[in-house]
Amino acid sequence: MRHFTSINDVGDVHDLVKRAITNKSDPPQQLAQQLFVALIFFNPSLRTRLSSEKACHLLGLTPYVLNAGQSWPIEFGEGAVMDGDKSEHIKEAGKVISQYADLIAIRAFPLLKDRDEDYDEPVIKGFMANTSSPVINLESATRHPLQGFADMITIEENKRREKPKVVLTWAPHPKALPQSVANSFAAWSLAMEYDVVITHPEGYELDPALTYGATIEYDPVKAYENADFVYAKNWSSYRSYGQILSQDSGFRVNREKFSVTNNAYFMHCLPVRRNVVVDDEIIDSQQSLVIQQANNRTFAMLTVLEQILRHMNI
Amino acid sequence: MRHFTSINDVGDVHDLVKRAITNKSDPPQQLAQQLFVALIFFNPSLRTRLSSEKACHLLGLTPYVLNAGQSWPIEFGEGAVMDGDKSEHIKEAGKVISQYADLIAIRAFPLLKDRDEDYDEPVIKGFMANTSSPVINLESATRHPLQGFADMITIEENKRREKPKVVLTWAPHPKALPQSVANSFAAWSLAMEYDVVITHPEGYELDPALTYGATIEYDPVKAYENADFVYAKNWSSYRSYGQILSQDSGFRVNREKFSVTNNAYFMHCLPVRRNVVVDDEIIDSQQSLVIQQANNRTFAMLTVLEQILRHMNI
Amino acid sequence: MRHFTSINDVGDVHDLVKRAITNKSDPPQQLAQQLFVALIFFNPSLRTRLSSEKACHLLGLTPYVLNAGQSWPIEFGEGAVMDGDKSEHIKEAGKVISQYADLIAIRAFPLLKDRDEDYDEPVIKGFMANTSSPVINLESATRHPLQGFADMITIEENKRREKPKVVLTWAPHPKALPQSVANSFAAWSLAMEYDVVITHPEGYELDPALTYGATIEYDPVKAYENADFVYAKNWSSYRSYGQILSQDSGFRVNREKFSVTNNAYFMHCLPVRRNVVVDDEIIDSQQSLVIQQANNRTFAMLTVLEQILRHMNI
């Protein structure tokens, strides 16, 4: 694996998930000495930061945590006359970071204003075009592949039949959120060849290119029928880009809807708004996998790092 | 020691202080490999952060520094409907952090508005109730036990008689400060069986449960008589909770009052407002122990970590 | 080397640059165990932070990164009555940090309001006067010696004649910037005995004490004639202290002026405003050394740390 920016960078998804599960029970030796990983956060992070730092240390890599937020306004425009607020061009930023870091991992959320711009992934692509170091996506404008990977590890660890029924359900939320987690969950669970159903109010359809092969069901009760896993997540509209079209509490995950499932497990990437996205009695139940998902973030990152180091012949 | 949240978690205080003094001259071998400590700062820190990081490295532990400040608004309410500003519940926050960190250390200051709420220590208790990892108090709403511990090390290193007279004096300050340092200094010095005198203007009495056994003296000159150690600290009122009742400069530490002591040492936890809390000529004198106190913070933390690791059978 | 605060702390500049070039191809063994370096940033940093962290790790030193910015307002005044915004005096701050850190490295920019105050370097001097630890300048009010050092490494690696002609050119910029980089580049290139020409609009003369031996040329085209290296940098006026006197685009580095050079290399410390300071076609050309300069920051810092550790007999 040269980079890890989306599921398209993965050769065989099944093999990668198996490798992560092996790494979890039997962590690899420290592979590297004096190798540096820049963890660049244009947006704040808890789980991604700690799981990434831990994975680096477990492999003997040295992480730098850069909370780049406001302090590093980067210009991406070709030929820009930089007489405004942007103090550094991606052409320097990318190449400079790769002088200090052997691997570069980046978190950069979408602005949710211009769909074409967000889906073009200018930050990730800008770094990839201007560095010789491998690039790892720590959640970009439209993808969160480390979350998708960790979710697949969690499903594989808990599934009770070869091809489980996996339901991705939209849920209400007071803020307009990106589609990244939903996009990656859909893409990874389809690649794992699960029976994937996506349920949401009309107008919340995700990018059809990413959900091809999934069943779309507007009635959440029908969607939940016989489900093995229910994955809840809010996202803002892809069609009416970035907008909140509904706060329909009928999509909140609750016991009533869970009663038609196959004793389903509950999943969420966290942080979660309790009693808005999901009722306490579901997330506090034995069927909740949210903490296991968080733990598997470490082994997703560790396995990605391992595969990239292997490609670097380290 | 399972947790370290207050002096009540300590078995024998004398033994613990002796152990710290031994660790200072003869640091223990690195005890641990691949163990992680989350240092979570809801309030900014210099001494606590650096001494904690250093103690971790000296023991071979890997610290994560999380400046959680504004960026991680946690909900503590049971059954809360999270449709407001709080994005994560302590139920997830605590369990998630313990996926990445084998020990969790937390700094969280009081709001100084509701005494019952502050003295109930919701942040520390919230993490303890929702994690399987040991919890270390890096200064909570009402306690600063690592400071109290470091202060005892410093007194033991400098005392000239078995049972020294130790004076805790309130001092003026332009801002309303917590009672944590004063509370812990009182509790630890009483547990060390020193002769403890506390002096402050009327209305600044600390929680009587924490100062039981100490002499309260409203006249600072009388309090200083024959003192071996004078420990200065501002705190806001406990009775008129969180309020500034006095700026009485008669409590500023100066040479005149020091003249009635037993050639006392001066102590303060730092940072200190010079010429408001204490005159330059006292803090700059040979009798000032403030830098030694700061250095002993490292060995207090190192010894706490050592004892907790021992309890974990590491 | 006891401290590294300016070129005046360096014995033989030529030897130091040679040593850095050797260290780059053949890094020294990890010299130290359990030694700590405080990297204190009163101003934000990317290159300086990452190169410093990397150099520490390459030598086996443990860095602490302190983004001190707003959160640590330090009083420097002798005898100050600290009843205002400043919460800690440099007398404690310096001594406390040296309890936790064996070396102290500091970045503190000028206020650009009072020239005498800035050129007196109160922050660096304040720490040096109040700590027993060696002090390293990570860019102070008036100097950036690690940049000057890295620039000399870069010139030595690329020069095609023994005594190259080196042009330092002022360039326009929308903000008022310090003179530090220009001051250090002038001082270091003069110490390396290059043929140094400085060009800028009238009124932008640097401190004459630092540029003694350099040729001042107000016409950039004349300055560029036969140059081997053109180093661009904006600075605000030293005479009309801190002011922007000109935005003269005639000083922007472009192909036309480059045509009269000796096929010169282009240099800049970064970050750079493209098409304001320099045209894309120059910085994107094969003659641009800006990324190599950034990389050499690591080896400048590594060599400084090595020399200071040697002085400490480590």
CATH architecture entry for C7-143+296-311:
3-Layer(aba) Sandwich (3.40)
Provide the pLDDT for residue C15: 80
Global pTM? 0.94
Among candidates A38, A80, A88 on the partner chain, residue whose Cβ is nearest the Cβ of C271: A88
Cβ–Cβ under 8 Å, residues B109 and B78:
no
- Checking if the pLDDT of C298 tops 90, the result is yes
Provide the pLDDT for residue B149: 93
Question: Mean pLDDT across the stretch C221-225?
Answer: 98
- Checking if the pLDDT of C280 tops 90, the result is yes
Least confident window among C34-48, C210-224, C256-270:
C34-48
Cβ–Cβ under 8 Å, residues C166 and C196:
yes
**Residues within 8 A of C (CB atoms), A 24-53 only:** 34, 36, 38
Superfamily of domain covering B145-293: Aspartate/ornithine carbamoyltransferase (3.40.50.1370)
A36 contacts in C (CB within 8 Å)?
54, 57
- Checking if the pLDDT of C31 tops 90, the result is no
- Checking if the pLDDT of C7 tops 70, the result is yes
CA atoms within 13 A on the CB side of B269: 29
Q: Does B76 touch chain A (CB under 8 A)?
A: no
Q: Which helix (H) or strand (E) holds C62?
A: strand C62-67
Q: Are residues C82 and B275, on separate chains, in Cβ contact within 8 Å?
A: yes
Cα separation, B156 vs B282, whole angstroms: 21
Cα separation, C222 vs C272, whole angstroms: 24
Looking at the complex, report in whole angstroms how far the Cα of residue A99 sits from the nearest Cα belonging to chain C: 5
% pLDDT > 90, chain C = 81
Q: Are residues C75 and B274, on separate chains, in Cβ contact within 8 Å?
A: yes
Provide the pLDDT for residue A265: 98
Q: Which residue ranges make up each domain of chain A?
A: 7-143+297-311, 145-293
Provide the pLDDT for residue A67: 87
Cα separation, C71 vs C88, whole angstroms: 11
Residue A214: pLDDT band (50, 70, 90) is very high
- Fold classification of B7-143+297-311 is Rossmann fold (3.40.50)
Least confident window among A84-93, B26-35, C78-87, C202-211:
B26-35
Neighbours of chain A (3+ CB pairs under 8 A): B, C
Residue A252: pLDDT band (50, 70, 90) is very high
Question: Mean pLDDT across the stretch C172-191?
Answer: 96
B97 contacts in A (CB within 8 Å)?
46, 50
Hey, of B23, B41, B45, B46, which one would you mutate to test binding to chain C, going by the most C CBs within 10 A of its CB? B46
Residue A32: pLDDT band (50, 70, 90) is low
- Checking if the pLDDT of A208 tops 80, the result is yes
Mean pLDDT for all residues in chain C: 93
Least confident window among A185-199, A288-302, B20-34, C198-212:
B20-34
Question: Mean pLDDT across the stretch A192-201?
Answer: 97
Q: Are residues A100 and C54, on separate chains, in Cβ contact within 8 Å?
A: yes
Cα separation, C29 vs C134, whole angstroms: 21
User: Two tokens at C101?
Assistant: 């850190």
Q: Are residues B97 and A44, on separate chains, in Cβ contact within 8 Å?
A: no
| ipTM for this prediction | 0.92
Provide the pLDDT for residue C28: 72
Q: Does A247 touch chain B (CB under 8 A)?
A: no
> For A78-130, what is each residue's pLDDT tens digit?
999 999 999 999 999 999 999 999 999 999 999 999 999 999 999 999 999 99
Provide the pLDDT for residue A31: 63
Residue B21: pLDDT band (50, 70, 90) is confident
**Residues within 8 A of B (CB atoms), A 175-204 only:** none
- DSSP E strand boundaries for chain B: 36-41, 62-67, 74-75, 88-89, 103-107, 135-137, 165-170, 195-199, 215-217, 229-233, 265-267
Question: Mean pLDDT across the stretch C31-35?
Answer: 75
Question: Mean pLDDT across the stretch C146-158?
Answer: 94
Looking at the complex, report in whole angstroms how far the Cα of residue A87 sits from the nearest Cα belonging to chain C: 6
Alpha carbon distances (Å) from B119 to B115, B210, B235: 6, 12, 15
Q: Which helix (H) or strand (E) holds C103?
A: strand C103-107
B38 contacts in A (CB within 8 Å)?
50
Cβ–Cβ under 8 Å, residues A57 and B62:
yes
Q: Which residue of A has its CA nearest to C69?
A: A71
Q: Are residues C47 and A72, on separate chains, in Cβ contact within 8 Å?
A: no
Cα separation, C273 vs C19, whole angstroms: 32
- Checking if the pLDDT of A30 tops 70, the result is no
DSSP code of residue A8: G
Question: Mean pLDDT across the stretch B137-146?
Answer: 95
> For B246-296, what is each residue's pLDDT tens digit?
999 999 999 999 999 999 999 999 999 999 999 999 999 999 999 999 999
Size of interface A-C (CB pairs under 8 A): 66
Q: Which residue of B has its CA nearest to A299?
A: B100
The residues pairing with B167 across neighbouring beta strands, listed in sequence order, are B197, B230
Neighbours of chain B (3+ CB pairs under 8 A): A, C
**Residues within 8 A of B (CB atoms), A 105-144 only:** none
Provide the pLDDT for residue B23: 78
Given this chain, do its domains A7-143+297-311 and A145-293 carry the same CATH topology?
Answer: yes
Hey, of C273, C284, C285, C292, which one would you mutate to test binding to chain A, going by the most A CBs within 10 A of its CB? C273
Looking at the complex, report in whole angstroms how far the Cα of residue A208 sits from the nearest Cα belonging to chain C: 39
Q: Which residue has the higher pLDDT, C11 or A243?
A: A243
